[in-house]
Amino acid sequence: MRFVKEHVWFYVIALGLLIGVDAVQVYLPLILGDFVNAVTALESNVARYAYIYLALVVCMTLMRYAYRYILQRMALVFDYDLRKKTFSELLKVPNEFLYDYDIGDLMSRLTNDLHAIRQFMQMGLISLIDVLVLGVSTIVMMLLLDRMLFWYAVVPLIGVTIFTIFFSRYIFVFFKKIQDTFGSLTERVQEFLTNIRVLRAFGKGHKAIGIFESVNADYYKYYLREVRLDALFGPITGLFAGISTLLVIWVGIRELQTGRLELGTLVSYVNYIGLLLWPMMAIGFGLSNLQRANASMKRIEDIILAPKEVPCFEPCHHVDKFEKLEVKNLHFSYGDRKVLENVHLEVNAGELIGIAGPIGSGKSTLTKLLIRVLEPPENTVFVNGVDVRHIPLKELRSLVTYVPQSIYLFSMTVRDNLKFGNPLATDEQIWEALEVACLAEDIRLLPQGLDTLIGERGLTLSGGQKQRMAIARALLADRPVLMLDDAFSALDTVTEEQLVKNLVDYARLNNKSVILVSHRISALLPTDRVYVLISGSTKEFGPPAELIKQQGYLAHLYRIQVLEGLVHG
């Protein structure tokens, strides 16, 4: 309704044109009846009726084009605004929301559901108005012409209205199931195409086909039910219209024979039956579109009305530069499952901090809490002594460049991927970042160098190349803190050692802070301090050289990896 209020004059004009079209439609059968009576009476100037009829049809055609153009344009504007708002709101939802919905389901909501809503805004809304204007005016004209024929004409057509109301009830149920199933179908396709190499490697293509076939069968089943209803709609309404026409002609001929009714009036009445059929059908058509739009709008509202990331908890404090990051007595759970408990961490400007620990100890969760990808509890994470919950989210994230475990490269050129975090970066800065990331030589060997197009998720690059490109992209963002979450996992030992050395030199030279999550002791040794998480708690912290001398986790990790180095030569 807010959209209609904002564009009220467009809808007023469209409504005025629609009323004009309906007025002409109601008047045309009268002209046709007069024309027939004039021919029957052998009048000399019958051509004038043809000219009037033609003029009215042309006028009606122009007005119909105008109001349909306005409505379709407004529907497109509404679709554009709602799509933009939905996508904008989707970017604001917390990670917890995204865990509850499949990507394919969200894609379905942004495509199919928005299309259903646009269909209603385009013609469904106006059809409900048309029921009132055209239906009432046609009924009035039929009553004025002949009240007895009116009841013979209308009683069968009431069956059309009853059927269409019954029809619309089931449309809502079926359409929602269709949209939900289509979301699941899209999710399965997206999942299988993304992991098609894994499916081929394990020879599980037949299993993927089986899963897809199951979801596809559900989609077919629900759609077939709607098709059956749609297939019934036309024939049933045609049956009632035929009965109405037959009754009017049968009774009308008898009235003609008695001389109570003129032939022109009977012709007008038969035309009015055809005219009245649309409002009777439009009740169902409009309600059907309304039900579909309502089902789709509920799915869109799941996104729009979902809880959003809080930009800043009051009172807000602004942070101009990075001086210190602190984590104090941090506890965090996913529902009932505790992940972090009594975690402590400290990062000063210019320091290199390592985070180590067994798999599942909460390292990645900790990194997400530091930049509020996950919401930390009150008074647990601080930047420059200010609780991060009270720092504007945009300011907080402008301090940290985060390279997660899962690397995503966009379907664009190498240059555009690298400039994603800094659109103003020059080629000279790009090559400097590539040198630090040990990727410059690899890019020079690509067919078009920086202009080489990379496929979705960087499918043309190896895992190690994708990780190094993500690191180069992070370096170009040029923020005070660089946070790497196991970003060397796909690198060989030689490349890793050189990359760590380059990062240390880069950080020392530019006074950058680095938070490095890694399982590799060679990556942790150059850091100023290492924090070891075990079962979600900080069990060890200090300079890596000192921790290695102790009988803790880092010392154990060191001995194992030194032994591996000796064994593999």
Residue 357 predicted with pLDDT over 80 = yes
CATH class of 1-305: mainly alpha
SS3 of 143-159:
HHHCHHHHHHHHHHHHH
Work out the average pLDDT over 239-264.
81
Question: Residue 567 — pLDDT band, cuts 50, 70, 90?
Answer: very low
SS3 of 518-535:
CCCHHHHCCCCEEEEEEC
Q: What is the CA radius of gyration of the chain?
A: 35
Q: Which residues contact 216 (CB under 8 A, 6 or more apart)?
A: 185
**pLDDT per residue as tens digits for the range 89-102:** 888 887 777 777 77
47-51, 392-396, 431-435, range with greatest mean pLDDT:
431-435
Question: Residue 566 — pLDDT band, cuts 50, 70, 90?
Answer: very low
**pLDDT per residue as tens digits for the range 196-220:** 766 666 676 777 788 888 888 888 8
Architecture of the domain defined by 324-568: 3-Layer(aba) Sandwich (3.40)
Ranges for all domains in the chain classified under CATH 1.20.1560.10: 1-305
The angle formed by the CA atoms of residues 426, 432 and 436, to the nearest 5 degrees, is 145
Q: What is the pLDDT of residue 433?
A: 93
Question: From residue 473, how far is each of 29, 106, 136, 450, 476 by CA, in Å?
Answer: 72, 28, 66, 13, 5
Question: From residue 180, how far is each of 103, 226, 287, 299, 470 by CA, in Å?
Answer: 12, 14, 21, 9, 35
Q: What is the pLDDT of residue 569?
A: 41
Residue 354 predicted with pLDDT over 90 = yes
Exposure of 419 in the CB half-sphere (CA atoms within 13 A): 15
Residues 489 and 405: beta-carbon distance below 8 Å: yes
Residue 76 predicted with pLDDT over 90 = no
Residue 568 predicted with pLDDT over 60 = no
For all residues of the chain together, what is the average pLDDT? Answer: 83
Please indicate whether residue 556 or residue 132 has the higher confidence score (pLDDT): 556
Determine the length of the chain.
569
Bond into 315 cis (ω within 30): yes
Ranges for all domains in the chain classified under CATH 3.40.50.300: 324-568
Q: What is the pLDDT of residue 228?
A: 79
Which of 172, 209, 206 shows the shortest CA–CA distance to 189? 209
What pTM, to 2 d.p., does this model score? 0.69
Residue 499 predicted with pLDDT over 80 = yes
Structure-token match 């399965």, residue found:
188
